Amino acid sequence: MVTGSTSGIGLAIARALAAEGANVVINGFGEAGEIESLRADIETRFGVRAHHSPADMTRPDQITAMIAEARDAFGGVDILVNNAGVQFVARIEDFPAEKWDQIIAINLSAAFHAMRAAVPGMKAAAWGRIISTASAHSLVASPFKSAYVAAKHGIAGLTKTVALELAAHGVTVNCISPGYVWTPLVENQIPATMAARGFTRDQVINDVLLAAQPTKQFVTPEEVAAFVVYLTSDAAKQITGANLSMDGGWTAA
Ligand code: NAD
């Protein structure tokens, strides 16, 4: 189960897990025909079953139902990837309260609700992998991203807590903290960052986004997906409760 997987990092994770032979539930929004071709492509390309759940990550009831549907379709959720996330960029005094609520719901509370629903099955199977897409913003802040930074710091704390609860049950719980990954989420925040800082598009890319990454390169969705696949392997069974940076050196500074 990969939340927020009709685009960007989540889609790359769903494809990489399918390439390893996992049946996948993809989730997220988009145009119905496009989602159906993404879903069908996963089935034909990787020879697995793929199901799409339109569950809205702001809705706890829909998240719980999505986990139950996955269990009915595939017999259980062995791997849960909490990936759905949105961004909004504004000064704290202008930050719309409803944007705060939406970001906390999608980027933080949805992971709680999904874990809460999936953990009993993992415990019963004595095996499971929970991986959340956090962010370098789970470790450090940037101005104008109060809700996002608060939610991602929250994911890091939730990860540690649930990892301790499940350590003796064969279930590992980790988060990956990428720096900037070139996806629609990053592309879409460029106009607001231009407005907030009075910068051009190139200045935002070079002086704001890549300024933070010593490698001067964006992380790719496929690199994050390969890390997820590794964390699901037996070789990674002693990695739990970790917040794993993948940020071109950003948070080393
Ligand atoms: P994206 O915009 O490409 O994809 C977001 C996905 O979430 C889409 O499938 C979208 O439909 C889905 N989604 C949005 N709102 C939803 C809702 N209410 N219910 C269900 N699904 C919903 O974004 P991305 O860059 O691939 O980001 C994925 C995750 O990676 C996010 O948690 C993001 O915070 C994190 N992240 C991204 C970057 C980056 O630079 N792109 C860096 C660090 C962390």
More reliable by pLDDT, 54 or 188: 54
End-to-end alpha carbon distance in the chain: 34
Best residue among 185, 190, 220 to mutate for probing ligand 1's pocket (most ligand atoms within 8 Å of CB) is: 185
* 125 pLDDT more than 90: yes
**Distance from the CA of 241 to the center of ligand 1, in angstroms?**
22
Best residue among 58, 66, 86, 217 to mutate for probing ligand 1's pocket (most ligand atoms within 8 Å of CB) is: 86
* 88 pLDDT more than 90: yes
Structure tokens at 197: 């800082």
* Domain topology for 8-181+220-252: Rossmann fold (3.40.50)
Please report, to the nearest 10 degrees, the dihedral formed by the alpha carbons of residues 68, 74, 80, 82 taken in order. -60
Residue with tokens 């897409």: 133
Ligand 1: does its nearest atom lie under 6 Å from the Cβ of 172?
A: no
Q: How confident is the model at residue 145 (pLDDT cuts 50, 70, 90)?
A: very high
* 186 pLDDT more than 90: no
Q: Give the mean model confidence (pLDDT) for residues 70-94.
A: 96
**Distance from the CA of 193 to the center of ligand 1, in angstroms?**
18
Amino acid 67 reads I
Q: What percent of the chain has pLDDT over 90?
A: 92
Using CA positions, which residue lies closest to atom 36 of ligand 1?
A: 135
Q: Report residue 118 CA to chain centroid gap.
A: 16
Q: Give the mean model confidence (pLDDT) for residues 238-252.
A: 98
* 12 pLDDT more than 90: yes
What average pLDDT is seen over the chain?
97
Ligand 1: does its nearest atom lie under 6 Å from the Cβ of 7?
A: yes
Say what the pLDDT of residue 83 is: 98
Report the distance separating Cα 166 and Cα 25, nearest Å. 23
Structure tokens at 235: 């070789």
Say what the pLDDT of residue 212 is: 84
Please give the full DSSP string across 118-186, using - where no structure is assigned: HHHHHHHHT-EEEEEE--GGGTS--TT-HHHHHHHHHHHHHHHHHHHHHGGGTEEEEEEEES-B-SHHH
**Distance from the CA of 4 to the center of ligand 1, in angstroms?**
6
Question: Does residue 131 contact residue 82 with C-beta atoms inside 8 Å?
Answer: yes
- Which residues participate in catalysis according to the annotation? 148
Using CA positions, which residue lies closest to atom 3 of ligand 1?
A: 8
Q: Give the mean model confidence (pLDDT) for residues 135-146.
A: 97
Least confident span in 11-15, 95-99, 208-212, 219-223 = 208-212
Q: How confident is the model at residue 215 (pLDDT cuts 50, 70, 90)?
A: very high
Output the CA–CA distances (angstroms, integers) from residue 137 to 35, 43, 187, 197, 228, in the order listed.
Answer: 29, 34, 17, 19, 19
pLDDT digits (tens, 9 = 90+) for 167-181: 999 999 999 999 999
* 13 pLDDT more than 90: yes
CA-54 nearest atom, ligand 1: 20
**Distance from the CA of 107 to the center of ligand 1, in angstroms?**
9
Q: What percent of the chain has pLDDT over 70?
A: 100
* 184 pLDDT more than 90: no
Domain boundaries, the chain: 8-181+220-252, 182-218
Question: Does residue 224 contact residue 13 with C-beta atoms inside 8 Å?
Answer: yes
Say what the pLDDT of residue 225 is: 98
